[in-house]
Amino acid sequence: MKRSASSVPTFDSMILTTIQALQILGGSGTTEEIYEKVVQLLNVPDKVLEILHGSTSQSEVEYRLAWSRTYLKKYGLLQNSARGVWSLVSTSINLNDLDAKEIVRAVRDADKNKSASSGSSDETIAAIETLEGLAWHQQLHKTLLSLDPFAFERLAQRLLRESGFIQVQVTGKSGDGGIDGVGIARINGFLSFHVLFQCKRYQGSVTAGQIRDFRGAMQGRTDKGLFITTGTFTRDAIKEATRDGAPPIDLIDGEQLVERLKELGLGVKITMIESVEVDVGWFEKI
């Protein structure tokens, strides 16, 4: 959705809120959990959350929040694991002792000093990595949007199969309430349950009404649903998907979709660059 990005919170204005969010979450959280909590704390309107960063499937808020985490990590307040979990380095961090502008200034000064001595800064490298990430995200998202509806349904079928689902079938029957397919999810080889899924290939936001329509089509057929889209979900849609007393519906937005395709190697090739470093100290010990 193309709207003015001027109404989007700046990355530095979300720095302290990120720490607050992690404190509420118990000291650690996934990228998605941090995003949801920051949005809630700042009370960011849905119309702002729907603003995309360029032509990617990532929202402008998500993009800027990523920079907030990066600055906090460089400042020494956050750390992240290979599994995408971010955590506070200390549970005794006092927000009253921190200043977002000071954090930004300190990180940039440190990067300038490193740049002067090594010819490149961590911030420059991070910026390059971000741009490279955006490049493949944009290309993949554009490719997904160019698929015809039937091809996108087949892609969803392949995605679920590669993720461990069995007996995945694409139905796509007209008048079937938006149900595009069915599959069986297996958990550790012991438990299994039927899942109905719906695919929406567009760049807009899925609304709470569309989630309710999907749940209505699920009625009496299964207790679990999966909604896949190349776009995003409004905050009300996310709340509706997990509403108490209603059959739960898992959501996969465009950003999660391209990341999952990358993880599974579906239409995405990862080229590793070998780095060779001579250990001079090893030779000195001979």
65 and 169 belong to one structural domain: no
Q: What total number of domains does the chain contain? A: 2
- Is the pLDDT higher at 273 or at 176? 273
123 and 182, same domain (yes or no): no
| Res. 120: pLDDT tops 90 | no
In a domain, 76, yes or no: yes
What pLDDT, in 10s, does the model give residues 207-230? Answer: 999 999 999 998 888 878 999 999
User: Could you tell me if 78 and 180 lie in one domain?
Assistant: no
Looking at the domain assignment, is residue 254 inside a domain? yes
Residue 271 lies in a domain: no
98 part of a folded domain: yes
Contact 211, 196 (CB under 8 A): no
Instruction: State whether 13 and 64 are in the same domain.
Output: yes
* 221: amino acid identity, one letter: R
Residue 67 domain-assigned? Answer: yes
Q: What percent of the chain has pLDDT over 70?
A: 83
Q: Please count the other Cβ atoms lying within 10 Å of the Cβ belonging to residue 159.
A: 20
Same domain, 102 and 201: no
In a domain, 276, yes or no: no
Q: Are residues 133 and 9 in the same domain?
A: yes
| Same-domain check for residues 198 and 166 | yes
Indicate the residue among 105, 137, 169 that finishes a domain: 137
Q: pLDDT band at residue 75, thresholds of 50, 70 and 90? A: very high
> What CATH number corresponds to the domain at position 238?
3.40.1350.10
- For residue 228, the surrounding DSSP H or E stretch is strand 225-229
Query: In this structure, are 36 and 86 located in the same domain?
Result: yes
My answer on whether 22 and 133 are in the same domain is yes
Q: Is 268 helix (H, G, I), strand (E, B) or coil?
A: coil
Domain hosting 177: range is 148-264
**CATH code where residue 79 lies:** 1.10.10
Residue 111, SS3 per DSSP = helix
In sequence order, the 6+-apart residues with CB closer than 8 A to the CB of 191 are none
Asked whether the beta carbons of 59 and 53 are under 8 A apart, the reply is yes
Q: What is the pTM of this model?
A: 0.63
d(CA 206, CA 233): 5
Contact 254, 229 (CB under 8 A): yes
Q: Nearest Cα to 156, choosing from 197, 112, 191, 120?
A: 197
Q: Are residues 183 and 248 in the same domain?
A: yes
Residue 165 token pair: 């689902």
As a whole number, mean pLDDT of residues 159-186 equals 81
In a domain, 40, yes or no: yes
Q: What is the Cα gyration radius of the chain?
A: 22
**Ranges 33-37, 41-45, 222-226: which has the least confidence:** 222-226
Mean model confidence pLDDT for the chain: 83
Looking at mean pLDDT, say which of 26-40, 123-137, 168-182, 263-277 comes out highest. 26-40
- Mean pLDDT for 62-75 is 93
Q: Which of 88, 113, 137 is the last residue of a domain?
A: 137
Region 72-86 average pLDDT:
86
Q: Does 110 share its domain with 167?
A: no
- Domain boundary pick from 83, 112, 137: 137
- Contact at 8 Å (CB) between 111 and 75? no
Residue 66 domain-assigned?
Answer: yes
User: Distance between CA 265 and CA 268 in Å, rounded?
Assistant: 5
Is there a single domain that holds both residue 21 and residue 123?
Answer: yes
List of residues 6+ apart from 285 with CB closer than 8 A = none
